[in-house]
A and B are shown apart, each in its own frame.
Chain A
Amino acid sequence: MQILELSFVAAVLLAATPVLFASLAGALSAQVGVFNIALEGQMLWGAFSAVAASYYTGSAWAGVFTAIVSTAVFSLALAVGAARWKADPIVIAIGSNLFALGITGFLMRVLFDVSGSFSPRGLQGLEKMRWLEGIPVIGPIFAGQTPLVPLALVLIVAVGLWLKFSPRGLRLRGVGEHPEAASSLGINVSGYQFWVTIAAGALCGIAGAQLSLGNVTVFTENMTAGRGWIAVAAVMLVAGRPLWLPVACLGFGAAEALGFRLQGVGAPQQLTDAAPYAITLLVLVATRIRFPARRASISTESTP
């Protein structure tokens, strides 16, 4: 029985990991006052570029690296537009999400001559941490996972502590809390916003790579399927505080993993697919009843 429960924990963690990376990206953006809803498209681009690079080089880690770099470049439109030119981040994000959906499908057709999904023979996925197998508890949970899974948790804790205790983290939070005040203290507000948005792009690249080379070894059209939006909702849920993200994201992972289990016993796929969205929204409403919104910095209403 215990094995079964631990395998469920592993499934929850697996489902949650891409969302964890993406929500960390969203939370960082929220901390500097950029409402980043481009996570969905950036994750999709990351997933595609990871698979493409892994296919061409034969190395999954080259895929991850390419995803990180190319998604950071992909996020330039948002970074330049929102941080430097004060354009509306929502409109840019809507456009770049559509662009990502189109360009990944387009390139899949042009480069690989397939549509729908791309999983050539010999496509290298990320290696699992099999060497953990013997250890009790940790083994059953992590042995079947890629190293990116524990990295997500470590990264979130590290970033959370960095934001809390380091001078730069404090400045970064100040930028989102009160841009004018931060600026008058000599902090380069748009510089922080720019580089954080780029870093968020890189994180979405890892999220995409974990999705297409870790969770599965295939790229399918629109494979992020709303995970970027769940990540945005998770950021709202925790009011931009990264240390709480694992709670929110593991809840989503549980909904998805439970959905798979329920499908196994005959529940209709349509309803289990809808569950994560419905649950996310309900939890969002429930927390807002309990804790009314405190921070304005992550609402869509910009206060220039």
Chain B
Amino acid sequence: MSAPPEPQVLRHPLVRLARVAVRHPVVVPVGAVVIAVLIGAVIIAAAGLDPLTAYAAVLSGAFDPDTLDYTVSVWAFICGMALVAAIPLRMGEFNLGGNGQLVLGGLAAAVVAGQSGLPPLLAVPVAILAAAVLAGAFGAISAPLATRFGIPIIISTLLLSPVAVAVVSYLLRFQIGEKGAAVAQTDRFPESARMWALGDLSYTNVGLIIVILLMVAYWLVDSRTAVGFELRVVGANRRFGAYGGVRVGRLALGAMAASGAVAGIVGAIITLSAPYRLTDGALLSPGYTFAGLAAALLAGGRPALIPVTAVLFTVLQVGGAAMERSADVPRQLSDVLQGVVIVVLALRTVVDNRRSGEKGAR
């Protein structure tokens, strides 16, 4: 099929420039965010509220110097949960069970931290390690379920997650929780088992450094090792990867274990930070799992972009609460915008198809 002759207008240099610009890889994610912001503005306006005031409140709330400490800590958690989503995403799988892995990490950390026998230098590392092992093992269950029994990872993680959440909730209320408290929660951990502070900051602590180290590790593995290459090959074309000798089953097991372990570490960090106790539901109510997933999707799983896209969803998360207080716009708008960003991103194939169509025509 031959391409129809181009109309005169399309040969104009400016039009050509625009066409080249549209193909730049940054266009799609930025475009998705812009469209989401516009749709959000329409929704706010339709609700009879002022979009500009709302968005101004989001920004000023997120970057308020007094609470920047808190914003940075949320950024670290969202970066961590973005890693959780990004690792399996790299090989084309979805881990939607971040919630279950997160609370299991919190549980393991709380159990270890509750033992006052450990020396101060050991308590935190052991708690984090225990969280990583428990949550990693739990995440890894999904890999054999997919490779042996053909149950997609996205389904098994989603079905396993509420089970873990319920079990942790049960243990908190009836087994390890504070006796006689109205809220199901553990006692406050001893001084020795709290996350090490960074200076005199009250929210951000060594957890931030741990998350940054995890991101660096992911970047190194992704770009410099055979495993990272295999992940990306399988993600691009599973059959080609298998044909090329990649053991997909083992790779999936490793990816899911790593993904779960990171979720566990995030859960441990949150639990061992202020207010130094594990409370039923406290790990899940901020919605870090799906904010992280959105950040990972927006970054396309690319390690270098995750810190950037995580900023966006941190602003939405922290600023959303501020927007509710000062502009009276319900904070659920943050979820709405996250959803819109993801849908618009998925619909980018319109651009892709046009691109490949042009290539085919040449």
Contacts and interface: CB of A to CB of B under 8 A. Distances in A.
Contacts of B338: 95, 98-99, 102
B28 to A, nearest CB: 12
Q: Name, among A81, A110, A115, the residue most crowded by chain B CB atoms within 10 Å (CB to CB).
A: A110
Contacts of B339: 95-103
Interface string B316-338: 00000000000000101111111
A32 B294 CA distance: 28
Nearest to B340: A99
B276 interface: no
A56 interface: no
B151 A90 contact: no
B220 interface: no
Interface residues of A, number: 49
Contacts of B174: 268
Interface in A260-304: 268, 270-271, 273-274, 277-278, 280-281, 284-285, 288-289, 292-293, 299-301
A226 interface: yes
Interface stretch (B75-83, B107-115, B163-171, B202-210): B163-171
A99 B336 contact: yes
A130 interface: no
Contacts of B344: 95
Nearest to A292: B150
B152 A277 contact: no
A289 to B, nearest CB: 7
Task: State the main secondary structure of chain B at its contact with A.
Answer: helix
B150 A278 contact: no
A28 B222 CA distance: 39
B96 interface: yes
B330 A229 contact: no
Nearest to A302: B92
A232 B96 contact: no
B243 interface: no
Contacts of A105: 330, 332, 335
A211 B358 CA distance: 48
Interface residues of B, number: 53
Contacts of B346: 81, 87-88, 91-92, 95
B21 interface: no
Interface stretch (B124-132, B153-161, B188-196, B252-260): B153-161
Given A236-B155, A300-B154, A94 B96 contact: yes
Nearest to A41: B339
Given A81-B347, A96-B339, A299 B332 contact: no
B47 interface: yes
B143 interface: no
B336 A268 contact: no
A110 B44 CA distance: 10
Contacts of A300: 94, 152-154
Contacts of A115: 330
B332 A109 contact: yes
Contact of B332 (A102, A289, A293): A102
Interface string A196-236: 00000000000000000000000000000010010011001
Interface stretch (B1-9, B223-231, B348-356): B348-356
Contact of A233 (B47, B155, B337, B348): B155
Contacts of A103: 43, 332, 335-336, 339
A277 B163 contact: yes
B313 to A, nearest CB: 11
Given A115-B330, A270-B173, A277-B160, 9 more contacts: A85-B347, A87-B347, A95-B341, A103-B43, A103-B336, A226-B162, A271-B170, A274-B167, A284-B155
Interface of A: 37, 77, 81, 85-88, 90-92, 94-106, 109-110, 115, 226, 229, 232-233, 236, 268, 270-271, 273-274, 277-278, 280-281, 284-285, 288-289, 292-293, 299-301
7 tightest A-B CB contacts, nearest first: A102-B335, A99-B339, A95-B342, A274-B166, A105-B332, A102-B336, A98-B339
